[in-house]
Every structure is written in structure tokens, then in C-alpha cells.
A and B are shown apart, each in its own frame.
Chain A
Amino acid sequence: MTGPCESAFSARDVTKTFGAFRAVDGVSIDVPAGEIYGLVGPSGAGKTTLIRLFCGLAAATQGEARLLGHAMPGDRRAVEGRFGYMPQEKAVYRDLSVGENLLFFGQIYGMDRQCIARRTTEILSLMRLGDRVRQRADSLSGGERQRLSLACALLHEPDALLLDEPTIGLDPALRAQFWDHFHALSKGGRTILLSTHYLLEAERCRRVGLMQAGRFIAEGTPAELRSAAAGRVGRAVPDMEDVFLVLTASSEGAS
């Protein structure tokens, strides 16, 4: 588990370019242990690239991304096994059963079969997939496969979680269930960095980074963002979507 003063995720002026395109442009972020931090913004804002930088799946062009105190991807061996990653795709083996998927991911994280069996029961019950253990992943519904993907990321009980659009395509009830689970994990000391383009989900995060064109246009708690937006337009802005529009407009005006 991360120490109380240690940042789970931190970056200073981190930039990632693909040719001339700046996917992440000078982003700084500091997420203490136990927090749920939301990267919020439209598609192409740089959320996925920032998450991939923290996972070590990409190297920063400038600056440094640190996960659990270690520079990524250089020190990734020091933290492997301590974080879980859920990619945007429903990244599970379609031709394996639910149980076999969890068995594989458990095995590559060094868990023994007994431990995997125990965690599989726990996590599938939590994800309401307990009766699907022998079912092939390609015969699951989209939401079920999404839950299986999250289960694969959580199986080895990581300290930090990087979740790329974990609730995309889920119905509101299921989304609420996912959020309940994220909060339970956070209470247990896990740190979560997730991306979403559902602006309403920003409300559920402890803090939010609003991203556009690779940059943070605002950062803070949902209340702080609402207050910043209200300051710009001179009236209360209760809806998070409006908050985003106001802050985006003022950001574009400023640049």
C-alpha cells in the first residue's frame, strides 16, 4: 500500500508528442494515495495518452511521469504487480471463459491457484458475474465483459488503478455500481486515476483535471471547478457540463 505522504501518481510538465502532434502538452498532476482522480474531457483530449504514460506503455517526450514514486517507464519493474490497468478496449481473451481469463491474469501476477480461486469468487460476486465463471467472454454482454475487464485489473489487489474509460457504454445502473465499487476501493486506501468523457461522472471524483487538446484547462475538486466557472460568468453553474463549457470557452479566449 502507498504511504500516507507518497503520491500515487505525479507528473511535472509532462509532454508526449507523436510527430508534430502534442497528445499531452505540459501536464502536471499530483494524486495522493487513496484519492479518486478523474481525467475529464472530450475524445482526443489526451486522457488515454496520459494514462499510458503512467502505465509505462509510452515514454514521455519531455518531463516525467511517476507511478507510486517510480519514474515510468524506466522503473516500471519496481512497480509491476502494484498497479492495475484497465484499457479502453474490453481487454479480455474472448475465446477464454470468465474463469480462465482471471486464472491467466492471476498467474502472470504470480498468484497461486488457490489464491486465484479465492479472489475469483470474491471479485466475480462483487461484479455480479458469479454465475458466469464457465461462460466464454465472447458470449457475455458488453456490460458483463466490461465488468470482467475491471475484475482482471483488480484481481491481484493492486495499490493503484489506472482505468481508461471504465464506464463507457454502461447503463446508468451499472455505472452507479462501478462508482460504488471505486469508492469502496478508495476507502480501502487504493488510488484511482480514471478517464471519462461523461462530465457528470466528474462529480463522483475527489478531484478532477479538465483536459482539452492535451492540456489541463482546470483542475480541482468539483466544487472548486464550479466556483471557478461561476467566477467567469458571474452566476452559479451547477451542471458539470456547463462548467466544462465555461472553462473551455474562457481557456480558448485566454489563448
Chain B
Amino acid sequence: MSLRRIAAVAERVLRQLRHDRRVLVFMLVLPAVAMILFGYSFSGDITGIRVAFVDGDDTDLTQTLRDHLRADSAFRLAELPVGQDPEQLLLEAGYQAVIRIPDKFTSLYYAHFAMGVATSAQGRIDLTLDESDPQIAATVQKGLADALMDLGEGGPVDVQVKDLYGVEVRFIDSFAPAIMGLVVALISTVLTLLSIVREKVDGTFARVWVSPVRRAEFILGYVVAFGAVALVQSLVVLSVGKLVFGILINGSIAWAFLCVILFAVGSVGLGTLLSALAQTESQAVVFFPLVIVPSVLLSGMMWPIQAIPPLLRPLSYLVPLTYSNRLLRAVMVKGLAPWQEPVGLAGLLGFVVLTIVAASLILRQRARGAE
């Protein structure tokens, strides 16, 4: 293993990028355009949001409320005993909302109705929300309001919403991390794929294989080059996001960049893998939608995974961007460290290991002469 040779491969790849003005423009303009175009998004019907229901009153009224919420397909309700910290339930147990009913809720609910506006006594419900996905947060609030409307005579109810992150999170705030991931995945996968296919077509691939360059050095050279590109692209996305849309960056930028680079590494591996299936550049182009379409539709980027039809939902967990989204949102919006989002981190690490090992095996086969 020679650092000099890794640097040589990386330097050469970067030089090639610099020479290709179309690619250069593509690399720098795409993140900005994507951010602006997709900045105004939409959502679908959301189902299966994990909600914890903590009933400190336990009366017929609160049970009716629970039954209404349970009947709502938007929620997957779990009844939990009192005394648990709502924030912990959100951050560590994977719930997206905690509805807590304090004791005496029922008596206050009816008392207020009986006494009219003259009393300040009012039934109160505490709602603690993970607002990193505003669409989910809005669905929870709307679902709870609908359930309270159906309770019949009584009320009104004071729903005390607690923002987990201290500020209101807008759609665009949770969308920016997804755009960062998408742009990096797209550019790293597509450019690695095209670059390796071009090496095969032009015969430089064979020339490199008979040189002292090792497979690992070759892949690492690409990783270093596209890691650097990913970093620049992330900066562009964040700058446009901050300057044009004023996006919320609640967490550590350094962690976010590290996660983006990790994703770029896996994407280089994926591009190398796909290059084994293409003999010409035009064949390689066919793979682009394969990368883009599932990423946009299934990763939870445009709408929460809970809004994806249940039949397709398992496919979401085969899309690398799903894990990148979870991780980057946790880091950027929730302000967590990467290991505090274990599913996202494990998914991304798995993607990196799987693609890099497979890419290395593919290149070994190529080095043996693509027999």
C-alpha cells in the first residue's frame, strides 16, 4: 500500500474532473438547482407513526381518546406506563411522539365545560414531538386534534406541545440533509461508473492493472477524489440552504460532513460495482435512473417512509439514501452524534462495507482479465 500511488490516482481523477467543464458545471450547479427545485415539496398519506400513549388518568374518557387514536391508521400506538421521560422515549426508543395525559385530566375536562369560561381550570395534554420530520409532526398534531373533537361534550383541551429541539422545524430544514445525501450519491455513483467504464473502453484500465497499482489503491484513489468532491458539494448545498432558505442547522457541521463522506465512499463502491455491468458509456447511462428513482421515491426524502404504501415500504430499507437521510437528519436537525442514530449509522456502514468489498472483488476479476 503506497500513499503516493493513492494520491496519484486521486490527483489524476481530480485533474480529469477539472478538464471536463460540463462535469464541473454539473457537479457545482446540480446541488444548487436541486435544492431550489425540490425545496418546495409535498407529502402523501402517512401511516404507522410510532406514538407512545402514557395515560396518567385512566378513565373512560381517556380510554375513548386512546381508542380514537388507535383507530387512526396514521398511528401505531403503544400504551406505556407513567413515569417515563418523554424525551428519552423519542431519542432512544424510536417513538416519534409521546402523548401524556396527566391525572385529573377527566375531572378538569368536565369541570371547565360545566363552569364555562369563568374558570381557568382546563384539561391538559402534554404532546412531545420529534419535529425532525415536520410532516410527521403535523400529522400527529392533526390526529390528536381530531381525536379530541370526537370526545363529545367537555373541554376545551389545552394541548401543550413541546418542541424537542427547542425551535420549530420546517419541511425545508429536514429536506436539506436529504438533498445533500442525494447529490453526493448521484455524483459519486454516476461519475465513478462513467470514469471506470471510460477506462475500460479506452484501454487505460488494462494499463493501470499491469502497473504496480493495487486494487485497494485504485478504489481508495477514487474514494479520496470523490470524498473531496462530496465535501465541496455539501458546502454548496448548505450555503444555498442557509442563504436562500435560512435552513436550521441544529447540530455539528463536522459530523454532517463526515457522514456525507462516508456516504460518498459507499457510492464510489456502488459505481464501481455497476461498472462491471456496463461495457460502454452509453450502457452506463442506463443505470442512472436505477440510482435516482428509488432514492427520490423510497428514501423518505420527499415524504416520510410512513407515507410510502406498506407493500413498498420494505424496499425503502434497501435504498442507501434511507440510512443517509436518517443519519444526516439526526446529526443536522436533531443535533445528535452519529452513534445516537444507530439504525442510520449501521445502515450506512453496512452499505460502505458491502459495496467496497464487492467492488474490490469485481476489480480483482477485471484484473484477472475479465475472462
A residues with a Cβ closer than 8 A to B are 18, 52, 55-59, 73, 76, 80-81, 83, 85, 87-97, 100, 103-105, 107-110, 136, 152-153
Contacts and interface: CB of A to CB of B under 8 A. Distances in A.
Contact of A92 (B19, B20, B202): B202
Interface in B1-26: 2, 4-5, 7-9, 11-12, 15-16, 19-20
A58 B206 CA distance: 11
A59 B201 CA distance: 21
A243 B206 CA distance: 34
Given A107-B11, A108-B9, 16 more contacts: A55-B210, A59-B371, A73-B368, A73-B369, A89-B203, A92-B204, A95-B16, A95-B20, A104-B8, A104-B12, A107-B5, A107-B7, A108-B208, A109-B211, A110-B212, A152-B207
B366 to A, nearest CB: 9
Nearest to A112: B4
A58 B371 contact: yes
B210 A93 contact: no
A113 to B, nearest CB: 10
Q: With a 10 A CB-CB cut-off, give which of B11, B203, B211 has the most chain A CB atoms.
A: B211
Contact of A52 (B8, B12, B212, B369): B369
Nearest to A88: B203
B369 A91 contact: no
25 contacts: A57-B206, A57-B367, A57-B368, A57-B369, A58-B368, A58-B369, A59-B368, A73-B369, A80-B210, A81-B212, A87-B206, A90-B202, A91-B203, A91-B204, A92-B204, A94-B202, A95-B19, A95-B20, A100-B12, A103-B12, A105-B211, A107-B4, A107-B7, A108-B8, A109-B212
Contact of B202 (A55, A91, A103, A110): A91
A100 B12 CA distance: 8
Nearest to B211: A108
Contacts of A97: 19
B204 A57 contact: no
A187 B211 CA distance: 25
Contacts of A105: 207, 211
Nearest to B366: A57
Contacts of B206: 52, 55, 57, 85, 87, 91
B19 A96 contact: yes
A52 B367 CA distance: 11
Interface string B195-228: 0000001111011111111000000000000000
A80 B4 CA distance: 16
A89 B19 CA distance: 22
A164 to B, nearest CB: 9
A103 B14 CA distance: 13
The 6 closest A-B pairs by CB, nearest first: A91-B203, A89-B203, A107-B8, A58-B369, A87-B203, A104-B12
A56 B364 CA distance: 12
A31 B16 CA distance: 39
Interface residues of B, number: 28
Nearest to A77: B212
Nearest to A83: B210
Q: With a 10 A CB-CB cut-off, give which of A52, A83, A89, A103 has the most chain B CB atoms.
A: A89
Contacts of B202: 89-94
Contacts of A88: 203
Given A57-B206, A94-B202, A104-B8, A110 B2 contact: yes
A103 to B, nearest CB: 8
Q: With a 10 A CB-CB cut-off, give which of A80, A90, A153 has the most chain B CB atoms.
A: A80
Contacts of B367: 57
A128 to B, nearest CB: 22
A136 B210 CA distance: 24
A28 B182 CA distance: 55
B211 A93 contact: no
B19 A80 contact: no
Nearest to B217: A108
A96 B16 contact: yes
Contacts of B210: 55-57, 76, 80, 83, 85
A97 to B, nearest CB: 8
A59 B12 contact: no
A105 B20 CA distance: 20
B354 to A, nearest CB: 27
Contacts of A58: 368-369, 371
A153 B201 CA distance: 18
Nearest to B23: A95
Contact of B204 (A55, A93, A110, A136): A93
Given A85-B206, A87-B203, A93 B212 contact: no
A114 B256 CA distance: 40
A59 to B, nearest CB: 6
A100 B368 CA distance: 27
Nearest to B368: A59
A37 B7 CA distance: 37
Given A87-B206, A91-B202, A91-B203, A59 B8 contact: no
A18 B370 CA distance: 11
A18 B369 CA distance: 11
Contacts of A87: 203, 206-207
A107 B199 CA distance: 17
Contacts of B5: 107-108, 110
B261 to A, nearest CB: 24
Nearest to A84: B210
Q: With a 10 A CB-CB cut-off, give which of B7, B8, B201, B368 has the most chain A CB atoms.
A: B8
B368 A91 contact: no
Contacts of B9: 108
Contact of A85 (B12, B207, B368): B207
A100 to B, nearest CB: 5
